[in-house]
Structure 1
Amino acid sequence: MTVNTEVVVIGGGYAGVMAANRLTQREDVTVTLINPRSTFVERIRLHQLVGGSDDAVVDYRDVLAERIRLVVDTVTQINASERSLTLATGGTVGYDYLVYAVGSGTADPQVPGAAEFAYPIASLEEAKRLRPVLDAAPATAVVTVVGAGPAGIETAAELAEQGRTVTLVCGEVLGPYLHPRGRRAVAKRLAELGVTVLDGPEAKVTAVTPDTVQLSGGHQLRSTVTIWTAGFGVPDLAVRSGLRTDALGRLLTDETLTSVDDVRVVAAGDSVAPSDLPFRMGCQAAVQLGPQAAETVLSRIAGAQPAPVSVGFAGQCISLGRRGGVFQFSAKNDTANKFYLGGRPGAKLKEFVCKSTVWQLGYEARKPGVRTWWSKDAKRQQLLAAKRGDALATAEQAV
């Protein structure tokens, strides 16, 4: 008699969808995906939703295998000892294995006035809340974007291309990930679009009011609409459920993505910290971590030893309006190098990346396990060895 295994995936983002689809390789595995929304959100297009050029959503029927049961709800508690989940609607769901892929969102801003008067855009709901605010603002209204990572740069460029008056407040450096050559290309394109870029030690936001942004250098900027893209946080579900996390709240796991507290809990995406050495947040890591988390579960079901995680990076892709972009190339260990692709070719490559990412999800739904999307990063083993060495030295000093 065949024993059926119930696997529940919490979170229907890039990592969760990839994990759920990969799990359907086995006919004796029942997969349930729990997500607060009934549609898949293309987070890498949320700046386009803000700008009005895309709705940033995809029907789950296009990216999720037919065998997967989709539950539109929110998990409020994980009871690992009983292998059950409590839902916001009041029900419970049991599991044999759990894939924790709750993703990330806007970090709670510590700057006075930011939570009350600035608009975050890390989620679909936040971006939708901002859209009518921008529509109602006069064409001459000053828009301030806080945060110079990809989300901030892309949002500033998207709005400036529409003729908006935009100031991008970097805090310190424009595009911290970028190589200086790639950074200069981004700065040039932003200047062409008319974006005022403020960087350096005096460009940190110290307070936000309904119509101003105050900086550490003592300057005060007029701002009709302030958009907040600085920093990301993760849901506190693991913390509330008594599972160990890193300082940011990401679930602590070993190198097989298995929770350090429970062999039945596996994690993927922005909300996991393997060996307390998490990967850069984003879909590039998520589409690799998702299937690897699923493979860990499948290995345990088969009684085999799961393989250690392996994530390789290609770089960072940034759109600069609809007619420009920069692809910053990197080594597999996510270190940016001097090579980049800019201009219209950069914009086309970014659009290709957005479309191909959704295609990857759909391909995994149709043919789970046929292709592997990740490449090895040999330097991670060096980081792990150094971390173990540091831990041993600290322990010896304590003795």
Structure 2
Amino acid sequence: MARNTGTAATTDVVVIGGGYAGVMAANRLTQRGDVSVTLINPRPDFVDRIRLHQLVGGTHDAVVNYRRILAGRVRLVVDTVTRIDAPARGLTLASGGTLDYDHLIYAVGSGSAEPDVPGAAAYAYPIATLEEAQRLRPVVKTASAAAPVTVVGAGPTGIETAAELAEEGRTVALVCGGVLGPYLHPRGRRSVAGRLAALGVTVVDGPETNVTAVTAHSVRLADGRELPSEVTVWTAGFGVPELARRSGLSTDELGRLRTDETLTSVDDVRIVATGDAAAPSDLPYRMSCQAAVQIGPQAAETVLRRIAGERPRAVEVAFVSQCVSLGRRAGIFQTASKNDIARPYYFAGRPGAKIKEFICRGIVWQLRFEARRPGAVDWWMKDRNRGTAVAEAGRRGETSAVR
């Protein structure tokens, strides 16, 4: 359905979602002059999600103007896609409009999972999106300094939020529902626990520490304890938008779009998925900007190769770390193997904080660099073992994430 402009046919490629993966994909697509690129996003600004805990703590606004990080040829449409009509190659927008495409990149990202704990939806504050973090910020700001704050969830977001608020001098409890920082190597976990203790954070970990109920003034645990909580922050679990499932496309149990190893939808060769909402071979990568900035450009390359009549390549992603801030003055850089398993080595304290800040700034720089020189950014390390892992998982019928 390429349009004829009078001189040459133009291929219309639409990217749904303007997060890390979507922006990288949109910028990479501008390598070809005969490709028209449209990015659809519900907000007029880019959300720097790895800084949302700072927004809650009042040290960063966590947004970047799209014109700083998008190539000039990318058309930004501020709207929300409500339905994908794959057979007709068309999109329905929340504003009432429609948009046609020749190729589609599905990069809708992730958000907070709907909590199934009684009272959590009414009394707890999720922070996975900009609007959620903005809603929580004034609540924290106006709460008295002595008001107990409970952060539920001990992944990176929970740890970072607890540390950020404790550094402000607030009384914070971090409820793990199991192990503190489950991804971390035991050595790194001990380092994080020590820093949290120094900040005055009460870490509630171990068996039977999952939350069973949330009220306006407390958090109840499976072991019978009831923690006082005037402000409860919910960071336990992520979900993805229902757009693909609602549009009749094949998804995994979480709702991520199922693709092959070239990131192509198992239903439609014209649809490619990337970022948190993609499930290549039913073995999705860890939800992270580290994965997003790698598979975003590769999704675009799959589309560009199809336009050129070439065979797309299998996705290649390599991890190096999990980086967690522990307030503004400390952090941890937990090294990892290429296939995303934590190693015993880490940088902590002030060096960890500097590395984390360098990475945060570097991600935005990477987006800008790709906008100016599409195709110049490439990940120099690849996990060459994924193909074997995919084949073995297929033989076993597994659908769990590769670790």
Shorter-chain-normalised TM-score: which range? over 0.9
Match of 2:9, SS state, is: coil
Q: How far apart, CA to CA, are the structure 2 residues paired with 1:219 and 1:138?
A: 24
- From 68, 87, 107, the equivalent of 1:101 is 107
- From 142, 145, 151, the equivalent of 1:139 is 145
Determine the structure 1 residue equivalent to 2:356: 350
Determine the structure 1 residue equivalent to 2:39: 33
The answer to whether 1:254 aligns with 2:273 is: no
Q: Is the 8 A contact 1:311 1:374 kept in 2?
A: no
Match of 1:289, SS state, is: helix
Shift of 1:379: 2.0
Match of 1:31, SS state, is: strand
Per-residue Cα deviation, 1:193-251 (whole angstroms, up to 9, x for no partner): 00000001121100000001000000001100000000000000000000000000000
Determine the structure 2 residue equivalent to 1:149: 155
Q: Is the 8 A contact 2:258 2:282 kept in 1?
A: yes
Aligned residues: CA RMSD: 0.9
The answer to whether 1:78 aligns with 2:84 is: yes
Uncovered stretches (5+) of structure 2, i.e. residues with no partner: 1-6, 399-403
Q: Is the 8 A contact 1:154 1:321 kept in 2?
A: yes
- From 262, 283, 287, the equivalent of 2:289 is 283
> Match for 2:270: what amino acid?
R
> Match for 1:63: what amino acid?
I
Per-residue Cα deviation, 1:57-113 (whole angstroms, up to 9, x for no partner): 001011000100000000000000000000000000000000000000000101110
Q: Is the 8 A contact 1:312 1:377 kept in 2?
A: yes
The answer to whether 1:125 aligns with 2:121 is: no
Give the TM-score, by structure 1 length.
0.97
Q: Is the 8 A contact 2:366 2:377 kept in 1?
A: no
The answer to whether 1:382 aligns with 2:378 is: no
> Match for 2:352: what amino acid?
G
The 5 A counterparts of 1:1-399 are 1-373=7-379, 375-391=381-397
Match of 1:176, SS state, is: coil
Match of 1:326, SS state, is: strand
> Match for 2:195: what amino acid?
R
> Match for 2:277: what amino acid?
S
Q: How far apart, CA to CA, are the structure 2 residues paired with 1:81 and 1:132?
A: 46
> Match for 1:390: what amino acid?
R
Match of 1:77, SS state, is: strand
Match of 1:4, SS state, is: strand
Shift of 1:136: 1.3
Shift of 1:381: 1.6
Q: Is the 8 A contact 2:15 2:37 kept in 1?
A: yes
Q: Is the 8 A contact 1:328 1:339 kept in 2?
A: yes
Per-residue Cα deviation, 1:25-62 (whole angstroms, up to 9, x for no partner): 00000000000000000000000000000000001011
Uncovered stretches (5+) of structure 1, i.e. residues with no partner: 393-399
Q: Is the 8 A contact 2:90 2:98 kept in 1?
A: yes
Q: How far apart, CA to CA, are the structure 2 residues paired with 1:75 and 1:378?
A: 35
Match of 2:368, SS state, is: helix
When the two structures are aligned, how many residues end up with a matched partner?
Answer: 392
Q: Is the 8 A contact 1:310 1:374 kept in 2?
A: no
Q: How far apart, CA to CA, are the structure 1 residues paired with 2:169 and 2:20?
A: 33
Q: How far apart, CA to CA, are the structure 2 residues paired with 1:227 and 1:370?
A: 40
> Match for 1:138: what amino acid?
S
Give the TM-score, by structure 2 length.
0.96
Q: How far apart, CA to CA, are the structure 1 residues paired with 2:162 and 2:388?
A: 38
Shift of 1:357: 0.3
Shift of 1:127: 0.2
Identity level (%): 70
